[in-house]
Structure 1
Amino acid sequence: VVSALTEAVPTLLARLMTKRKHLRPLTAAAQHALPEWGLWREYLEMAIQLAQLVAFGPLFPVAFVLAYFNDLVEFRLDAIKLNSSRRPYPRKEAMGSFWTNVFNGMVLFGASINVFTLIVHSETLAALDASMVHRLGVGIILEKFFVVVRVFVAIAIPKPNEWSENEIVPLAESTELGEIVARASAHLELPFPDVDQKDATLINTIDSDIETLISRMAVLRYRKSSRPVRVD
């Protein structure tokens, strides 16, 4: 709750104190003047929440319900931050793979914590008068079982480069998109250090071309997936 308030209150106050209302989309120069929004803090919040769930979830099941409502609030906060920050530009970073490894490690670590927590506080084993050695043996077996299940699930999920070409439109191989990107890189350097009127006009034109291209490729994908109708 405190984290949500510290994120939402400054943004809401800034919007209330600003009398100017944008009735039309911002230009490229105005977009560049907005503060940049990074994803590091968002990933960090997800990692902290996942760590709390895997550590205290078995002993406090209501934590999952609280996490659900916390995520609903976070969705609205992210929408507010997106509306008040600079439009994100695609950039090649290794942040995704780093946080994927962090989450996978938490899941494996959480399997051990949950199993041994339930084994120690199990009323069924206490009724059977099981010794601590037998409890540890059962815990180790269950832990290895869940780890094997986790590995099989990870193997069963297809990687993006293993998907069928019929399911994904080869956007990167599009000649028209390559021409647009080449035209942009020939005139501009990302990120934009100084955006003048000429560069802003070019950015707006490139954005319009990319939106048109995406719309065309979406229609092409729809036609490709639809069954052709024969007209006699």
Structure 2
Amino acid sequence: MPRFALKIEYDGAPFAGWQRQKEHPSVQQAIEEALRKLQPDAPGIAAAGRTDAGVHALGQVAHCDLVKDWDPFRLGEALNHHLKPLPVSILQVAPVEEDFHARFSATERQYLFRLLCRRAPATHERGNVWQVAYPLMLAPMQEAAQRLVGLHDFTTFRSTMCQAESPVKTLDSLEIEEFAVPHGQEFRFHVRARSFLHNQVRSFVGTLERVGAGAWSPDDVQAALEAKDRAACGPVCPPQGLCLAHVTYPQDPFQT
């Protein structure tokens, strides 16, 4: 049975997350229903990451098994036709080996979080950024971010509902950029790791925002990390600024 990798872009606002649910719409459900327009008995699909409600994707990856050996371009076109008018797009389809797994074969996941600082409400970027009404300082946030890089017990930055077996993870990189935008600032947080705990990125950003606002110091972030206590975490920021940007594999299935 041919296996295909799907590179997927979506707006997470209308969905209760990636994972299929009984009573709420999900991105997984939308794509599986589109696949079943092509093959009524098509099995379920698996993704590189289970994004939460309201979280977006620029480069989510999933794999599916189909009976027909589709031309990848035609499969993508057919799925996009059946996904309309939902804000889900199949960017690319690639045939892969039968042992390829979108989740377990991945070696790194990259997330992007966008934070807008300005008093006037966002219009064009509404739903794609977390907005605060005051300026932030870049340098102390960058210093605090470096305290989080490396192998650590991230219990402080882990949701109490997290199902991961261990809170010990390696954070490869947490880089922050600042951009001037009309009447304000935009900060972009680029976060890379092999895998993440539930709410880990949003916990990072919410805590670092407190540093940028001057309410916390980089040493406070260090102390929170070392506390290994969820109560020591800063605020968990809302989901709309978060986006799964890229998934890395030993061999990129989409490389042309």
Same fold (TM over 0.5): no
Q: Going by fraction, where is strand more abundant, 1 or 2?
A: 2
- TM-score normalized by the length of structure 1: 0.26
- TM-score normalized by the length of structure 2: 0.24
The structure that has the greater radius of gyration is 1
